[in-house]
């Protein structure tokens, strides 16, 4: 059986700098994997190579065995990739329900109709999805008026609308109050495990990483320097050195 996400020998250079240098790893269905590393380690580049925002110089990205290297984000969405962004991206001029209904309609291939009457037929499904992320009470609220923590929850609902096989979360708890962070990650983790969704996320908050990841991959200067269970990573001297080294240099 092939992994949900498989990354093989990814390389990307900017000018002379090798931002990502031969990165290889897998993520299995239902597994939560954290991608961490000091600033400038290549996390973001790596993430953008996987989510289609950048094209790699070399290497492959496969989804359930299908080569998707360099495909644009919207194509990945159709292949079952859900995403959340470092700065949560939702539709500010719509209600929360409309936000989710639009995502559902897009997934159903029904968002191109010119003359159909709105998105109302996706309302029930949208409410159900909001229920799953614990945001049912927000359904009628206007996107632009939500508190940031609520926006984050809505965003997870949007990311799940295409029933993804793989969920990519870029700094999912950035900008949130510490107390909210655990709750949000717990919601994501529960959904992922129940629906066997593979999750890959980057994160700065080590409490979140060690509290929720099944496995941690550590990048430094474009290469994987360690990977393993949270406990193993916590104890790994190379990891400490990478982080401390940067700290002392910075």
Partner 1 sequence: MTAGAFAVQLLNGLASASSLFLVAAGLTLIFGVTRVVNFAHGSLYMLGAYVAWSVAEALSATPGASGLGFAAAVLGAVLAAAVVGSLVEVLILKRLYAAPELLQLTATFAIVLIVRDVALAIWGAEDLLGRRVPGLDGSIPLGTRSLPEYDAFLIVAGPLVLVALTLLVRRTRFGVQVRAAAENRTIVAALGVDQAKLYTAVFALGAALAGLAGALQLPREPANLAMDLSIIADAFVVTVVGGLGSIPGAFVAALVIGLTKALCIALGSVDVAGVEIAFPKLTLVAEFVVMAIVLAVRPHGFFGTPASLPPSTPLAEQRTLVVAPGRRELAIGAGLVAAFVALPLLSDEYSRVLATDILIATLFAASLRFLMGPAGLTSFGHAAYFGVGAYAAALAAKQGLPMLASMAVAPVAALAAAIVFGWFCVRLSGVYLAMLTLAFAQITWSVVFQWDAVTGGSNGIVGVWPTGTLADATHFSWFTLGVVSIALLALARIAMSPFGQALRGARDSPLRAEAIGIDVRARQWAAFALAGAFAGLAGGLFAFSKGSISPETLAIPRSVDALVMVLLGGLNATFGPVLGAAVFTWGQDLLARATDYWRAALGVAILVIVLVVPNGIGGMWAALRARRGSA
- Residues binding partner 1 (CB under 8 A): 72-74, 77-78, 82-83, 85, 89-95, 98-99, 102-103, 105-107, 110-119, 142-144, 155, 158-159, 161-162
Cα separation of 34 and 169, whole Å?
9
Whichever of 29 and 99 has its CB closer to partner 1, that residue is: 99
HSE-CB of 22 using CA atoms within 13 angstroms = 2
Whichever of 31 and 170 has its CB closer to partner 1, that residue is: 170
**Joined tokens for residue 183:** 């709750």
Shortest distance in whole angstroms from residue 183 CB to partner 1: 22
DSSP state of 220: E
Whichever of 159 and 192 has its CB closer to partner 1, that residue is: 159
Return phi, psi of residue 38, to 5°. Answer: -65, 170
Whichever of 21 and 84 has its CB closer to partner 1, that residue is: 84
Shortest distance in whole angstroms from residue 78 CB to partner 1: 5
Cα separation of 103 and 118, whole Å?
13
Whichever of 77 and 213 has its CB closer to partner 1, that residue is: 77
Residue 63 gets the label, from left (phi > 0), alpha (psi -120 to 50) or beta, of beta
**Joined tokens for residue 246:** 């940067």
Whichever of 25 and 122 has its CB closer to partner 1, that residue is: 122
Shortest distance in whole angstroms from residue 207 CB to partner 1: 27
**Joined tokens for residue 48:** 């953008």
Return phi, psi of residue 91, to 5°. Answer: -95, 110
Whichever of 44 and 106 has its CB closer to partner 1, that residue is: 106
Shortest distance in whole angstroms from residue 237 CB to partner 1: 38
**Joined tokens for residue 178:** 């510490």
Torsion from C-alpha of 108, 111, 117, 121, nearest 10 degrees: 30
**Joined tokens for residue 108:** 């159903």
Shortest distance in whole angstroms from residue 192 CB to partner 1: 17
Shortest distance in whole angstroms from residue 190 CB to partner 1: 22
Cα separation of 167 and 28, whole Å?
11
Shortest distance in whole angstroms from residue 46 CB to partner 1: 18
């Amino acid at each position: 059986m092939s992994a949900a996400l498989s990354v093989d020998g990814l390389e990307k250079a900017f000018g002379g700098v090798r931002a990502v240098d031969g990165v290889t790893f897998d993520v299995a269905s239902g597994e939560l994997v954290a991608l961490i590393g000091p600033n400038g380690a290549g996390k973001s580049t790596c993430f953008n190579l996987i989510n289609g925002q950048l094209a790699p110089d070399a290497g492959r990205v496969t989804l359930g065995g299908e080569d998707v290297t360099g495909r644009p984000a919207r194509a990945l969405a159709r292949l079952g990739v859900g995403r959340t962004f470092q700065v949560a991206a939702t539709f500010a001029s719509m209600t929360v329900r409309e936000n989710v209904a639009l995502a559902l309609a897009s997934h159903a291939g029904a968002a191109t109709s010119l003359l159909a009457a709105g998105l109302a037929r996706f309302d029930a499904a949208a409410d159900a999805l909001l229920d799953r992320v614990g945001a049912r009470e927000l359904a009628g609220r206007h996107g632009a008026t939500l508190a940031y923590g609520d926006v984050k929850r809505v965003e997870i609902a949007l990311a799940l609308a295409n029933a993804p096989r793989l969920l990519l979360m870029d700094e999912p708890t950035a900008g949130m109050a510490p107390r909210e962070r655990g709750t949000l990650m717990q919601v994501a983790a529960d959904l992922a495990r129940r629906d066997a969704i593979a999750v890959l996320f980057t994160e700065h908050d080590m409490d979140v990483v060690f509290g929720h990841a099944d496995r941690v991959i550590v990048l430094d200067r474009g290469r994987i320097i360690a990977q393993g269970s949270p406990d193993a990573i916590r104890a790994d001297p190379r990891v400490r050195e990478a982080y401390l080294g940067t700290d002392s240099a910075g």
